[in-house]
Amino acid sequence: MSKSLVKAINMLDCFTKKTEMTINELTEAANMPKTTVFRLASSLEEAGLLVKERKSSHEVKYRLGLKLLTLGKHVSEQLKYNKVALPHMKKLNEEIDELVHITVLEGDEAVYAETIDSSKPVRLVVKVGKRAPLYAGSAPKLLLSSMKDEDLEAYLDEVELTKITENTLDSMEKLREEIQKIREKGYAVSHSEHFKDTVGFSYPIYNHEGEIVAALGVSIPVIDYSEERERLILGKLEGTVKTIWSELGYLRGRACSNND
């Protein structure tokens, strides 16, 4: 990719922190020479990606152009997370030969939206459309932990914890502890909480706005479980979701500065 193009993109990113900036402010935010910023700003203005406004005889400020909104709408229509994720799910399934699934939040339940089965003789099979309570299983718990605090509290005030297996969480205190643990770690694990004799692992799928839109999970028979297997699956899951995040436009931790 052209270095000038990268710098221009990084400069546009700076407007997510401050909506209007002078050339001097933009120079500081982008950490580039003023001549470079002026040249790139002029090109972006010509392309309709930046708008220049004269605030006074001595002050000119730049802001993002509406053309970006038009482009964004076209992009958002294409970024259907399940279509983006599916080839990466297939690749993960081929690498580990375990059940791989995408789960989404619908009301107060988790719904399995995509599944790819393992070829093993002893395996868990989950049909697309299968529903689960949000307190049982790695993917449901991850979706629960992704809720805004007010929505989470409303759910916890209403839900009745029912045992599905002997490992299903039936204590509100333990469920709250589990939610906090998932938020801190960034992923969820379950041991036979929804499906008997099954261990599950799930990571979030973020969209371009940094919102969790689904959970990507792997489920394995408990007879195949070991700490070494867990580390392997979590590592591959993390790598897979990061690739999906990138394709969905989620660039966590991206800085708006770039040296000339």
Domain extents in the chain:
3-74, 79-247
Average pLDDT, integer, range 27-42: 94
**H helix or E strand, kind and range, residue 35:** helix 34-46
According to CATH, the topology of domain 79-247 is: Beta-Lactamase (3.30.450)
DSSP E strands, the chain: 50-54, 60-64, 99-106, 109-116, 131-133, 188-191, 198-206, 212-221
Which of 60-74, 193-207, 231-245 is the least confident region?
60-74
Cβ pair 205, 212 in contact under 8 A: yes
Question: Which pLDDT belongs to residue 207?
Answer: 87
Q: Mapping DSSP to helix (H, G, I), strand (E, B) and coil, where does residue 47 land?
A: coil
pLDDT attached to residue 257 = 39
Total length of the chain: 260
Q: Confidence band (pLDDT; 50, 70, 90) for 259? A: very low
To the question of pTM greater than 0.95 for the whole model, the response is no
CB 166 within 8 A of CB 174: no
CATH 1.10.510.10, applies to 3-74: no
Q: 74-105: per-residue pLDDT in tens?
A: 655 555 788 899 999 999 999 999 999 999 99
Q: Does the pLDDT of residue 73 top 70, yes or no?
A: no
